[in-house]
Structure 1
Amino acid sequence: MAVVTFLVVLLALLVVEPGLVAPHSTEDVTRRGPDDVRLVNPSEESDAQLWPFTSRHRSFESLTLPINAVVRGNTARVVSQLRNQRDSQWEQLDRDWQGIDDEGEPLVVEGTDIAWGETTGATRYTYVSTPNAGGEWVTETAQLHDGTYFGSRYHLRLYEGGSDGARWTAIQAHHEHWDWFRLRHTVGSLATAQHHLETEYFGTAYTADISRERFANGGISDADGWVSVVDLRSLASANIVWGALLLSGFAEARNTSQTAIDQLTVWLSDGLGQRSALLFACLLSLPLLVRTVSITGETAVPGLPVKLVAGTLYLCLAVGIPAAALTFPLSGEPFDWAGIAILGLGLGFILDYQSIGIDVLPIAVVLHRLAVLGIVGLIAASASYRTPEERWNRPLKISLVLWACVLAWPLFIGL
């Protein structure tokens, strides 16, 4: 009963949260022009001005994320420096599918381990105004990422502007990860990506100066309105020093480990214990397996269609999770089965996010994952009530309907 109440409260949040079910359209807002927004000058040597945000459409009302870096140089040079300054294997990625649609003393950096590769993403616009040509909406000159499409990555959108003698490249940098329930990327941080990009220029021969200037465009995610500004000088080869992480631990006493192994052996000798272990293992491994297969396919077969990978593995996740929760609980205490299912899948989610370096999630995503865990626990508990005469009892049917709803939530309503 407690699980059902918990799910009802979560679904109620979905209905009453302002703008979640019926978000305001930009048509309801008075359209603004260039005179109604604040433009900034990325370079004192150029008269070109920039609206320090990106936008989904050619309008100021549909802004998405703030510009958080400016490199005073043309985009071709910036891309070349980011991609070719180290001895690495680069891949060409074609990501044209956008889904069904976050500072005393001088700093010395000895080296970085950043691998920028070309990518494409959803089109985002920004506004550039020049005294002679006037203002215009421009799309990305280039896009780069460090990471994997189906894992986590730092994603850069680069916009070139300025005059012939003083070109600059405005950059929108963010860190994001692929969410298998939303079938799209979730932005986790802007500040982390901004710092990540800054480290690429620290201690290099082609960097004349790195500073931060206030563009007053903060307030979105963890952006503070201070933009990283990089002044370039002549190109030079960069020396890379690769660091290594040392792993240590595992200091358990031998007798304690042996006792745990003995207890586990006794538990697994029982049929109920075996099914419990299988349920736990399946739900634990599914998120990790889907993530691993997608990243392996992406890196091993660069031309593999993203739609094919995402669609196939999403079905594995959407069908595999309830299938496991339905298959293994045949008898026993319903709350025990619910606890095993919730613990296994919950740990699987945690390990999945740790594997791609995600430490913080938006609250809406956390609420959705809690709803997923609650419904999977309800499926497992309901499955334990089944009898040969009644394979599909009413609680089981209700839980499967709720599962369909929790899958539709991020795809059609949003998080």
Structure 2
Amino acid sequence: MAYSWPLSPKVTLVAAILVVLLAGAATMVEPGSPGATAERGQAPTKLVEPKPGENVFWPYTSRSRSASGRTLAINVVVYGDTATIRDYLTRGRDPGWNKTGADEQDIDAGEGPITEGNATNGTLVEWSAATGSTRYLYVHDRTLTEDRADEVTRRPYRAVSYTGPLGREAAGAWIEETDQLHDGTYLGARHHIRLYESPYESDNWVAIQAHSEHWDWFRLRHTVHGTEAAQNRVEAQFMGEPFADGVWRLYLDNGGGSGSDGWATIVDLVGDSGGSGPGPMALGITGLVLGTAVRRRHRRRDRSRADTTQPLLSDTPLSRWLRSSDRLSPGPVDRLVRGLSYLLLFAVLLGLYLGVRFSGVALERAFPAADPKFIAALLYPVLAFGLPGAAYLAGRNLDPVRSFAAAATGTGTAFVLDYQYLAVTTLPLNVVLHRLGLAVALGAVAAGAVTRDTTTKTVNRIIGAGILLWVYLLVAALVGWL
């Protein structure tokens, strides 16, 4: 039977162009951009007092100037100013925080004097460039609020709660983050904090949202996987330091989502300095370009030697050499070749996916001035086209059922090892199902990868279904259907 590609060339070309265009767009634009103005009726109504006698805020961040865009809970409040906090975090005893800015220009780490508080560690951190999408915080004039009815106040364990604007929306303001800091890599995993300094001059507090996130290669954006670890990291950096007059927890009643329990870390800095801010690729893609091309066979198999009840053997130079060797008989050689072929299929998918992750992190560290989104745009086609291409080439001439199992388990193992490397312990159900679908898609591609002279319509439908499922899941992740 003549071989026919399951998808027409036009359909295949359109699908490939669609994936590339969506990938490029996703690397240049972060989703969830804030709106220009607040939606009417969407101003928050649940406000808390971060410091006695000072103005209040909504204890969540938002991706837009509206309560409907609520994202993560505020989990740290520092009594001080942003410049001093940044100075302590980047020059303290654990100076791992780097400035996170919207542009990609380096900032001078040596600006400003070293004070008593940050002299505990003389090693300066080189401020590196990274990006972080804008999130808003709602701040409200305390004099235009009312105490919440039946609210029990138990300082210092519980924050005072207030009702919201009560129709006086002009009394509140959505503010952008004053600064962003991160510790980790953009294309790997990192702790990320956003600092919001009160716009009222009489106030002396900075609200902080701290979370842990990782780069999702299929969504081409960061995914938050927790808040507790980042909050504990910030808290530990101030605990026991001479520049911190006290560190305790205050209940803001904003628990739920991303591991937040409603308790915020409160840090009271000593005084108010009001000073200015401070003033070899380790891994590569190894073993990913493999010599898996198989010569087309134009001669019939010798029926006197062939056992038609056995799966088709790989026609590779290695297998032909082994069959001609006097050291092994044909039976053990065939079984050895088949076993190595399935192992190769498993390993190439495992290595290709992890190679993209490690190469992205290595390139980011080797070229700190480069936009990490540009690195992601270069590596994404390796992921989008390399994985199904490797599954097809490495799965040729193998038993469909066994090749499906090898490809699917290799892909699934890569996902598990990747999340272990990123220290991600919990995942949403939709992400788990998406990754299982990707493993099934590559398994189907490998199962349908047979030689042209043995292809059947059934196998054509299998590989066609695998390709369609792969493209659909890629597009679904890029456009935010997850």
- Pairwise TM-score range, normalised by the shorter structure: 0.7 to 0.9
Report the Cα distance in structure 2 between the residues aligned to 1:188 and 1:154, rounded to whole angstroms. Answer: 10
Alpha-carbon offset, residue 307 of structure 1: 2.9
Selected match of 2:192 from 150, 155, 159: 155
- 2:374 maps to a residue whose letter is L
- Contact 1:117/1:145 (8 A) holds in 2: no
Q: Map residues 6-405 of structure 1 onto 2, 5 A cutoff.
A: 31-32=40-41, 34=43, 37-46=45-54, 48-86=55-93, 119-130=130-141, 131=143, 134-161=171-198, 163-164=200-201, 166-233=203-270, 270-384=336-450, 386-388=451-453, 390=455, 393-405=460-472
Report the Cα distance in structure 2 between the residues aligned to 1:65 and 1:90, rounded to whole angstroms. Answer: 20
Q: Any gaps of 5 or more consecutive residues in structure 1?
A: 1-25, 98-110, 237-265
Report the Cα distance in structure 2 between the residues aligned to 1:85 and 1:235, rounded to whole angstroms. Answer: 17
Report the Cα distance in structure 1 between the residues aligned to 2:87 and 2:432, rounded to whole angstroms. Answer: 38
Alpha-carbon offset, residue 120 of structure 1: 3.5
Alpha-carbon offset, residue 54 of structure 1: 0.8
Secondary structure of the residue that 2:396 maps to in structure 1?
coil
Partner of 1:10: none
Report the Cα distance in structure 1 between the residues aligned to 2:368 and 2:439, rounded to whole angstroms. Answer: 34
Report the Cα distance in structure 2 between the residues aligned to 1:296 and 1:347, rounded to whole angstroms. Answer: 22
Secondary structure of the residue that 2:479 maps to in structure 1?
helix
Report the Cα distance in structure 2 between the residues aligned to 1:188 and 1:338, rounded to whole angstroms. Answer: 31
Question: Cα gap change, 1:390/1:376 in structure 2, threshold over 3 Å: closer, same or farther?
Answer: same
Report the Cα distance in structure 1 between the residues aligned to 2:232 and 2:476, rounded to whole angstroms. Answer: 33
Report the Cα distance in structure 2 between the residues aligned to 1:184 and 1:361, rounded to whole angstroms. Answer: 15
Give deviations 1:201-239, integer Å, cap 9, x for gaps: 122111111111111111222111111111111599xxx
Larger Rg: 2
Report the Cα distance in structure 2 between the residues aligned to 1:301 and 1:79, rounded to whole angstroms. Answer: 24
- 1:180 maps to a residue whose letter is W
Question: Cα gap change, 1:88/1:218 in structure 2, threshold over 3 Å: closer, same or farther?
Answer: closer
Alpha-carbon offset, residue 144 of structure 1: 0.6
Question: Cα gap change, 1:233/1:268 in structure 2, threshold over 3 Å: closer, same or farther?
Answer: farther
Between the two proteins, the alignment pairs up a number of residues equal to: 340
Give deviations 1:95-126, integer Å, cap 9, x for gaps: 559xxxxxxxxxxxxx9xxx896743111111
Secondary structure of the residue that 1:167 maps to in structure 2?
coil
Task: Between 386-395 and 326-335, report the one with greater CA deviation.
Answer: 386-395
Report the Cα distance in structure 2 between the residues aligned to 1:61 and 1:267, rounded to whole angstroms. Answer: 65
- 2:262 maps to a residue whose letter is G
- Contact 2:191/2:211 (8 A) holds in 1: yes
- Confirm whether residue 412 of structure 1 aligns to residue 423 of structure 2: no
Secondary structure of the residue that 1:321 maps to in structure 2?
helix
Alpha-carbon offset, residue 367 of structure 1: 0.9
Task: Between 296-305 and 171-180, report the one with greater CA deviation.
Answer: 296-305
Task: Between 300-309 and 318-327, report the one with greater CA deviation.
Answer: 300-309
Report the Cα distance in structure 2 between the residues aligned to 1:315 and 1:307, rounded to whole angstroms. Answer: 13
- 1:129 maps to a residue whose letter is H
Question: Cα gap change, 1:304/1:269 in structure 2, threshold over 3 Å: closer, same or farther?
Answer: farther
Secondary structure of the residue that 2:452 maps to in structure 1?
coil
Alpha-carbon offset, residue 38 of structure 1: 1.3
Alpha-carbon offset, residue 394 of structure 1: 2.4
Question: Cα gap change, 1:234/1:30 in structure 2, threshold over 3 Å: closer, same or farther?
Answer: closer
Give deviations 1:333-358, integer Å, cap 9, x for gaps: 21111111112111111221222222
Q: Any gaps of 5 or more consecutive residues in structure 2?
A: 1-34, 105-120, 145-169, 274-331
Report the Cα distance in structure 1 between the residues aligned to 2:82 and 2:344, rounded to whole angstroms. Answer: 53
Alpha-carbon offset, residue 287 of structure 1: 2.0
- 2:452 maps to a residue whose letter is T
Alpha-carbon offset, residue 140 of structure 1: 0.5
Alpha-carbon offset, residue 289 of structure 1: 0.8
- 1:388 maps to a residue whose letter is D
Alpha-carbon offset, residue 178 of structure 1: 0.4
- Contact 1:284/1:347 (8 A) holds in 2: yes
